[in-house]
Amino acid sequence: MKKKLLSVLLCAAMAATMMTGCGTKEEPAAAPAEETSAPEADTSAAPADTTGSDEGSAEGKAYNIGYSNMQLKEDFFITVEGGIHKAAEDAGYVYNTTISDRDATKMKQNIEALVTKGADIIIDFNVMAEAGSAIASDLAKENIPMLSVDCIYDGAYFFGVNNLEAGEILGQTAAEYVDSKFGGELEYIVNVYDAASGDEIKKRNDGVVNVLQEKYGVPDDNVVWLDSKQDDVKSQTMTKDWLNSHPDATKIVIVGQNDDRGYAANAAVEGESRKDDCIVVSHNADPAPIENLQKHVEDKDTAWVATASYNSHLYGEQIMDMATKILNGEEVEQNGYTKVTIVTLDNVNEYVKDRDAAIAAMQ
Amino acid sequence: MSKVKSLLKNSKSELSTVIMLVVLCIIFGVQSEYFFTFRNIMNIGTYASIMGTMAAGLTVAMLLGGLDVSQYSLAAMAGMIMGMMIEAGFSVPVTLAVTILVGILGGCINAFIITIMRVNPIIATMGTQFIFRGAAFLLTDGRYIRIDDPVYYFIGNGKIFGIPFCLMVMLITYIIVWYLLKYTKYGRQVFAVGGNIQVAKLAGINANRVKFISHIIAGVTAVMGGIITVCQTSSAMPNHGYGNDMDGIAAVILGGIGLAGGKGKVGGTLIGILVLAVLVNGMTLLNVQAYWQQVVKGLVLIFAVFIDALRSSKSKA
């Protein structure tokens, strides 16, 4: 009997601890008490049925936002979540969030829990197109719109990067460096990418290649694709091997699909003392390229000259704006795209200042 | 009164888990207005169905004093094969039959390594865990496969009289395993081998055969969980279940089956599964961050092993 009592006490203590210590508010800080119940009443007001409605956040309508997040381990996800949370609070919305940790089953269960809690819209940042499309279809049956972030789901609104366009913008910047560093001549375009990330993400490289091939007439045979299999070490080794097998090449643009690939490629370039022969550009504006650019603002002694920023610190505001319009029944483009900023040696300090100010405002 | 005492005595290993389940339900019910809604209860059942189906087979392996940490990886690999077959246009019966065969094969591999090569079950299944997971990625180079077929959708998401079909599959699995353990010669042999292998051998029981069959059962229930996963998410993904490998083991231990094996009931596992499912669901409803949920699940696992140790020390005394 003592053991049973012990079990009950331990269990109760454990549950009480997690509820007092780990829980977060279900209600928005800014919302008045009566607004907590508003979302339930709004659930039936599907966006399709409210087209043309002039109700907006400015009138204090407290929507219930369900944010299904993949993780909170990487800067990009942390910043996006912080932005969405703040934007929801500022608008006086109910905000609930979950984390699936790359588990599609958990993602589905979490979204179901968010819907149970009265979500008027599901914003999903799990980047799982297959599972996400199926869930979007289920949600549509309940007239709950879904807004996917950075990955297009069938039947859902989308907000994120226009990968091809981002690549083309980065390509323009790369071309400027080709003109100034190589005198307007280019021999090779080397892409360090991950085939497993799919065709959509590959468009980031395609965009750069399109611009550079068109401008400098680089033959297809000189456009190289190195599949790093999402491995940093492999990315560096493959780039190094390619450079060693092309000792006479002196006008090379290396395109990293993301900054991890860019970092690895740049390490290979520096390791092989080929800085003068290469221009490295990549995507994401992670801390590594930003630090590298800041370090070389004065001496310009780096091959890694540009990274495309998708302005993750602006995601939250833009996503919430799109979500509000969807819920208000306003006309919204199916796909919304984030602003792309190319961060270079010339604008890195200004970019960091603006970014940090925006992030500070979230906290 | 004596009947009640007898019932308590015979079911005491599950009783603490039942009390835990009830306490959790009360706490979450009080804290969240959504917890006791029909929709949420069905969500708990749906969530429990994957882990629960897998744990039914795991129970048999653990009754023998073994462990199987490869179940989720085997499920992922079988799910990828299933996805590839669906993509290639194979019919539903053929696809499901082959997927189940993959489970049998995976179970045979585990059983061979454990019984013939005499490798410790934890090490053996840890090895195959890596192999199955790696194979799952290699099959499509990490590519995900979208499943868009009403039959598979029904398996994962369909309902009969409002009850999720996958939940029914789980319950039927438990009934079959319960029957196997309670009313068949094989079931008695499982308890005999798990209780004292030397005595079982002296009694003429082929312990290796019993272990072999048990790991095949664990393999089959693993891929059944994999099938439900694929159908629920409408996608075959090589990373399905990644990081969840210990959940089933925690549920089995919570349900009263000791690490030493030899005693316990599959019904206890079902209660253990419900405890974990309720815990995760309740914490999600209360906005407890996922990483804190992992901490709590870890505490629950330690708590379960602690209770198991208490039971063992008392039975030895």
- Which chain B residue has the Cα nearest residue A16? B27
Residue B263 has pLDDT above 50, yes or no: yes
- Tell how strand A146-149 and strand A157-160 pair up: parallel
Indicate whether this complex's ipTM tops 0.95. no
Say which of B39, B296, B307 has its CB closest to residue A116.
Answer: B39
- Tell how strand B235-236 and strand A252-256 pair up: unpaired
Cβ contacts of A26 on chain B, cutoff 8 Å: 286-287
Cβ contacts of A131 on chain B, cutoff 8 Å: 233-235, 237
**A7-11, A37-41, A61-65: which range is least confident on average?**
A37-41
The closest of B161, B36, B27 to A116, measured between CA atoms, is B36
Greater confidence, B12 or B296?
B296
Which amino acid is residue A190, in one-letter code? V
The count of other CB atoms within 10 Å of the CB of residue A184 is 12
Cα B164 to Cα B145: distance, rounded to the nearest angstrom: 24
Cβ contacts of B141 on chain A, cutoff 8 Å: 195-196
Chain B contact present for A22, CB below 8 A: yes
> Which helix (H) or strand (E) is B204 found in, with range?
none
Chain B contact present for A18, CB below 8 A: yes
Hey, what domains does chain B have and what are their CATH numbers? 12-311 (1.10.3470)
How much helix, strand and coil, in percent to the nearest 5, is found in chain A? 55, 15, 30
Beta strands in chain B (DSSP E): 145-146, 159-160, 163-164, 235-236
A275: exposed, middle or buried (Cβ count in 10 Å: 0-12, 13-18, 19+): middle
Residue written as token pair 């297009």: A152
Provide mean pLDDT across the span A273-278: 96
A12: pLDDT confidence band, cut at 50, 70 and 90? Answer: very low
Provide mean pLDDT across the span A270-288: 95
Provide mean pLDDT across the span B250-266: 85
pLDDT, one tens digit per residue, over B27-84 is 999 999 999 999 999 999 998 999 999 999 999 999 998 889 999 999 999 999 999 9
A228: pLDDT confidence band, cut at 50, 70 and 90? Answer: confident
Residue B275 has pLDDT above 80, yes or no: yes
Residue A360 has pLDDT above 90, yes or no: no
Cα A192 to Cα A189: distance, rounded to the nearest angstrom: 10
Which amino acid is residue B291, in one-letter code? Y
Provide mean pLDDT across the span B89-105: 97
| Contact: A18, B288; criterion CB under 8 Å | yes
| Helices B150-157, B207-233: crossing angle, 10 deg rounding | 110
A121: pLDDT confidence band, cut at 50, 70 and 90? Answer: very high
Residue written as token pair 């407890």: B288
- Distance to chain B for A105, nearest Cα, Å: 6
Query: At residue A66, what are phi and psi to the nearest 5 degrees?
Result: -105, 115
Which amino acid is residue A163, in one-letter code? N
Chain A contact present for B16, CB below 8 A: yes
- Three-state DSSP state, A61: coil
| Contact: A12, B303; criterion CB under 8 Å | no
Provide mean pLDDT across the span B269-275: 94
Output the pLDDT for position A153: 93
Say which of A19, A105, A198 has its CB closest to residue B229.
Answer: A105
Query: At residue B236, what are phi and psi to the nearest 5 degrees?
Result: -105, 120
Q: What is the mean pLDDT of chain B?
A: 90
A162: pLDDT confidence band, cut at 50, 70 and 90? Answer: very high
Output the pLDDT for position A230: 74
Helix ranges restricted to H, chain A: 2-21, 38-42, 75-90, 104-116, 129-141, 163-182, 198-216, 232-245, 259-271, 287-295, 312-328, 348-362
Residue of B34, B287, B289 to mutate, testing the A interface (most A Cβ within 10 Å of its Cβ): B287
Query: At residue A188, what are phi and psi to the nearest 5 degrees?
Result: -135, 145
pLDDT, one tens digit per residue, over A285-334 is 988 999 999 999 999 999 999 999 999 889 999 999 999 999 999 999 99
Chain A contact present for B283, CB below 8 A: yes
| Contact: A16, B145; criterion CB under 8 Å | no
Output the pLDDT for position A84: 96
Output the pLDDT for position B258: 77
Cα A252 to Cα A266: distance, rounded to the nearest angstrom: 12
Q: List the structure tokens of B269.
A: 């596992």
Query: At residue A344, what are phi and psi to the nearest 5 degrees?
Result: -130, 180
| Contact: A113, B19; criterion CB under 8 Å | no
Residue of B16, B17, B37, B284 to mutate, testing the A interface (most A Cβ within 10 Å of its Cβ): B284
| Contact: A109, B310; criterion CB under 8 Å | no
Q: List the structure tokens of B131.
A: 């192999």
B245: pLDDT confidence band, cut at 50, 70 and 90? Answer: confident
Output the pLDDT for position B88: 95
Cβ contacts of B153 on chain A, cutoff 8 Å: 134
Cα B30 to Cα A330: distance, rounded to the nearest angstrom: 38
pLDDT, one tens digit per residue, over B196-239 is 999 999 999 999 999 999 999 999 999 999 999 999 999 999 98
Output the pLDDT for position B190: 95
Cα A261 to Cα A317: distance, rounded to the nearest angstrom: 29
User: Side-chain half-sphere of A182: how many Cα atoms within 13 Å?
Assistant: 23
- Distance to chain B for A294, nearest Cα, Å: 34
pLDDT, one tens digit per residue, over A37-55 is 333 333 333 333 333 333 3
Output the pLDDT for position A3: 43
> Which helix (H) or strand (E) is A149 found in, with range?
strand A146-149
